[in-house]
Amino acid sequence: MQTRVTLHRDFVTSIIDGRLYSAFLEHMGRAIYGGIYEPGHPQADANGFRQDVLKMVRELAPPLVRYPGGNFVSAYNWEDGIGPREERPVRLDLAWHSRESNQIGIHEFADWCEQAGIEMMLAVNLGSRGIDEARNFLEYVNHPGGSAWSDERIKNGRKDPWNVRLWCLGNEMDGPWQIGHKTAAEYGHLANETGKALKAYDRSLELVACGSSNPGMASYPEWEATVLDHCYETVDYISLHMYFTNHEDQLGDYLAIAEQLDRYIVSIAGVIDYIKAKKRTRHQVHICFDEWNVWYHSVQQDRRVLEGTEWNFAPPILEDVYNVEDALLIGCVLNTFIRRSDRVRIACMAQLVNVIAPIMTETGGDAWRQTIFYPLMFASRYGRGKALQLAVDGPTYQTRELDDVPCLDISAVHDEEGGFVTLFAVNRHQKEALDLNVALHGFENARLVEHQCLNHPQMKAINTASQPDQVRPIAGDGVGVEEGALKGNLAPLSYHMIRLSVGA
């Protein structure tokens, strides 16, 4: 089970955009209410924000958070979330079959983001609404003053604009489940006209058009081609979404899903290149993978809520409890984003708290880190810099859909300013350890400074409020630098963060 990897200081895929490690919060379930916001909780501040949750969010250090949806945004009136709280309307949210109190709106969410040190990525409603509401929202959020909507913001207590740079033009408009679902041509035209209006205000804004909700859609990848044909010159990103499942409990197949994700990215990159050539333009559109995560554990419970007759406030839905298998897959997904960071510039794990999330809370009780928290934390902390190209020669395995899946899934990032190279590695083999040998060309003075390993004898092991640290990374051993190479042994079904000092 020997695996040889070659990296070279000068062989660089891209300079990674730090927004690759971003997050998502939607008005959905207990993500907002009972997640980041729980007035009266012992850990809540004067504004109702849970400080225990905020501490964990800061550990993840996502640079960006997408808000307020998601499916929620396609019937959302942003004006409902401004002005005196006691006067805000209660609405029925058709997307998640619940009641929305609007106690958290743009002002409150922006305050939370400022506490967390996170920038906002705002989505506009192109389902039930359109251009006017989008441009008014932009004016409210970004204009200094002296206009109707900016003066309304000032009257509501915020003098300085938030100056949000990144805007999503709707959400999953290819999905028949979406309020205001449109054909690709209808949506492409609307996205272009909305984008033109927003950029008429500020041409430096970055805009994200809706791509496919998942690669299984019948309209994929024609949707992207048609949408971009309409709005290529206006937008800067096309969004992709993908959720990962293990319904049949086939671990080898499950961990190989990252290879299918890679093909998804490559296919859409090809569509982008085709439209770019067709338009004969120098403008480059990138991929914004603004929804991704494991999602399948809670499906039956979700159905009871979503198909029920009651309209509850913040009902618990999509509260997947993640195990060791899920953490390994998340590690592989993040490796894929790093290796494809020349095309994927932004990615948002969906979501941040309680709803398919790395952080969980009990109402009135504790908060804890799920298993998937740790690969995202390590990537966010140490995965910034240059993505290095790797040549990997090692054992592979087959799944029902894929041939030659590498047992070793690995990425490497060079932080030139700090003087570090960090490798993120997953051994997907279920029984055998991998004998690793990484040639470090251009890093002759490398030395090991940190090795963290996440594995567990029980692959279904989880973290809970009563056992929050049952699955957590520990200091690894058996890995070191010898004669210009990183050598060592990676246990079966294990995740590793290996950090080398290489000098500035």
* pLDDT at 300 (0 to 100): 82
The DSSP bridge pattern shows strands 64-67 and 474-475 to be unpaired
Question: 392: phi > 0 → left, psi -120 to 50 → alpha, else beta; which?
Answer: beta
User: Per the residue annotation, which of 100, 172, 206, 224 is the catalytic one?
Assistant: 172
* pLDDT at 215 (0 to 100): 96
Query: Quick one: CA torsion of 215, 195, 149, 130, rounded to 10 degrees?
Result: -60
- What are the C-alpha distances in Å from 331 to residues 25, 97, 335? 21, 33, 6
Q: What is the pLDDT of residues 395-413, one digit of tens each?
A: 999 999 899 999 999 999 9
Its pTM stands at 0.97
User: Per the residue annotation, which of 38, 119, 133, 291 is the catalytic one?
Assistant: 291
- For the chain, domains (ranges, CATH) are 2-10+387-501 (2.60.40.1180), 17-47+57-368 (3.20.20.80)
Residue 471: CA count within 13 A, CB half-sphere:
29
Q: Is the pLDDT of residue 504 over 80?
A: no
Residue 16: CA count within 13 A, CB half-sphere:
31
SS3 (DSSP) at 354: coil
114 is catalytic: no
Q: What is the pLDDT of residues 199-250, one digit of tens each?
A: 999 999 999 999 999 999 999 999 999 999 999 999 999 999 999 999 889 9
* pLDDT at 305 (0 to 100): 87
CA-angle at 405, arms to 399 and 410, nearest 5° = 140
172 is catalytic: yes
Task: Indicate the residue type of 40.
Answer: G
What single DSSP character describes residue 49?
A: B
Q: What is the pLDDT of residues 12-34, one digit of tens each?
A: 999 999 999 999 999 999 999 99
- What are the C-alpha distances in Å from 497 to residues 140, 223, 379, 426? 43, 38, 9, 9
Which of 252, 259, 265 shows the shortest CA–CA distance to 397? 252
Tokens of 186: 């209808």
Contact 281, 273 (CB under 8 A): no
